[in-house]
């Protein structure tokens, strides 16, 4: 790492409206290539890639030293052993998505507790009826929110919990401090305790071999029957068939998924017709301010790289986060 001239390839739509923030970085040449269309010629002299790598990127980019992923989740790394086994540094945009995902989590939760989807359905049918909706709407003040994965996303959710008078518990694979955001942060070995104690369970963990299908029928059965499940990080952590059965059988009050195991979700997937389930199409991390933060993280890292300083958000490629 030095102040030598660097060739940078930008190959993502994430933050593209803010690429001009990089214009004042010295000693770099920047090219933009459509995602998924990087050729051998494009990659021949690339030192740094901003975006998601393809499987063959290590082979076709012999000078590649560092990949700045444009997302917080880097589950793609598990499918690219050539990258895992290489000396290429991988960083992500951890921290950029916390505010938007925190807000989206509460939007989903309040939509469930205040019967917003049912009310919208009445709007479309020009039908006004309170009935069951009036008798079953809930307040969330005083409830316990359990957060699975207490990294930047989980903390983004927890930061907003005091405004709703929620008690926060969390589990994480690492020994992390609640830092005033959670009453307790337990190891993942206490996941069952968190599920049993929580009125609202929020999944903000990354998708890794360890978290894949970590919430199946047995785990969902440990949740309170009047609890809510909200998933805003990655699909594949919850066993969707088990969630469908739990909701159909009244074992949960409701659930909201911003992410699903297969995206886009096929029209014939049974999730569409599952009662008490609200879905949004992977929108939780979306906002113009988040896109700017992603580029700002890359710029900060680029300046650090040039000066030989430690990079932000270095990913352990073997762990996938």
147 to 97, 113, 142: CA distances (angstroms)? 16, 18, 16
**6-94+288-307 and 98-279 agree in CATH topology:** yes
**DSSP states of 221-274 as a string?**
TTS-TT-EEEE-S-TTSB-HHHHHHHHHTTSSSEEEES--SSSSPPTT-GGGG-
User: What average pLDDT score do residues 3-24 get?
Assistant: 94
What does the pLDDT look like over 239-280, one tens digit per residue? Answer: 999 999 999 999 999 999 999 999 999 999 999 999 999 999
Whether 67 and 53 have beta carbons less than 8 Å apart is answered as: yes
Q: Given CATH 3.40.1640.10, say whether it is the number of domain 98-279.
A: no
From the list 139, 210, 218, 263, the catalytic residue is 263
From the list 94, 97, 115, 234, the catalytic residue is 234
Q: Detail the DSSP E strand segments found in the chain.
A: 6-11, 28-32, 48-51, 66-68, 89-91, 144-148, 167-172, 184-187, 200-203, 228-231, 254-257, 277-279
Kindly list the strands in the beta sheet with 28-32, ordered across the sheet, starting from the edge strand earlier in the chain: 28-32, 6-11, 48-51, 66-68, 89-91
The CA distance from 99 to 285, in Å, is 8
CATH superfamily of the domain spanning 6-94+288-307: NAD(P)-binding Rossmann-like Domain (3.40.50.720)
> Residue 3 — very low, low, confident or very high, per pLDDT cuts 50/70/90?
low
* Residue 263 appears among annotated catalytic residues: yes
What does the pLDDT look like over 117-135, one tens digit per residue? Answer: 999 999 999 999 999 999 9
Parse the chain into domains and list their residue ranges: 6-94+288-307, 98-279
From the list 190, 222, 282, 319, the catalytic residue is 282
pLDDT of residue 1: 47
What does the pLDDT look like over 223-242, one tens digit per residue? Answer: 999 999 999 999 999 999 99
pLDDT of residue 179: 82
The CA distance from 45 to 42, in Å, is 7
What does the pLDDT look like over 74-109, one tens digit per residue? Answer: 988 888 999 999 999 999 999 999 999 999 999 999
pLDDT of residue 79: 87
* Residue 5 appears among annotated catalytic residues: no
* Residue 282 appears among annotated catalytic residues: yes
């Amino acid at each position: 790492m030095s102040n030598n001239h660097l060739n940078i390839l930008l190959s993502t739509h994430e933050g593209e409206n803010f690429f001009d923030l990089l214009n004042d970085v010295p000693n770099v040449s920047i090219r933009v290539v459509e995602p998924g269309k990087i050729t051998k010629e494009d990659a021949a002299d690339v030192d740094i890639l901003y975006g998601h790598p393809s499987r063959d990127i290590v082979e076709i980019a012999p000078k590649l030293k560092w990949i700045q992923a444009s997302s917080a989740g880097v589950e793609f790394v598990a499918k690219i052993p050539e990258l895992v086994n290489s000396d290429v540094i991988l960083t992500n945009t951890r921290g950029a998505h916390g505010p938007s995902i925190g807000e989206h989590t509460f939007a989903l939760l309040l939509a469930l507790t205040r019967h917003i989807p049912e009310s919208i359905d009445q709007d479309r049918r020009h039908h006004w009826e309170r009935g069951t909706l009036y008798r079953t709407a809930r307040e969330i003040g005083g409830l316990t929110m359990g957060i699975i994965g207490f990294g930047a996303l989980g903390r983004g959710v927890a930061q907003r919990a005091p405004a709703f008078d929620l008690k926060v518990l969390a589990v994480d694979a690492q020994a992390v401090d609640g830092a005033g955001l959670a009453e307790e942060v337990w190891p993942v070995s206490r996941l069952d305790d968190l599920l049993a104690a929580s009125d609202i369970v929020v999944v903000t963990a990354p998708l890794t071999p360890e978290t894949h299908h970590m919430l199946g029928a047995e785990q969902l059965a440990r949740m309170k029957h009047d609890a809510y499940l909200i998933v805003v990080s990655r699909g594949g952590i919850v066993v969707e068939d088990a969630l469908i059965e739990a909701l159909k059988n009244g074992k949960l009050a409701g659930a909201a998924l911003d992410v699903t195991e297969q995206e886009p979700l096929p029209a014939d997937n049974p999730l569409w017709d599952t009662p008490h389930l609200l879905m949004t199409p992977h929108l939780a991390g979306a906002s113009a301010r988040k896109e700017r933060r992603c580029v700002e993280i890359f710029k900060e890292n680029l300046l650090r790289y040039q000066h030989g300083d430690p990079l932000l958000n270095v990913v352990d490629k073997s762990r996938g986060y």
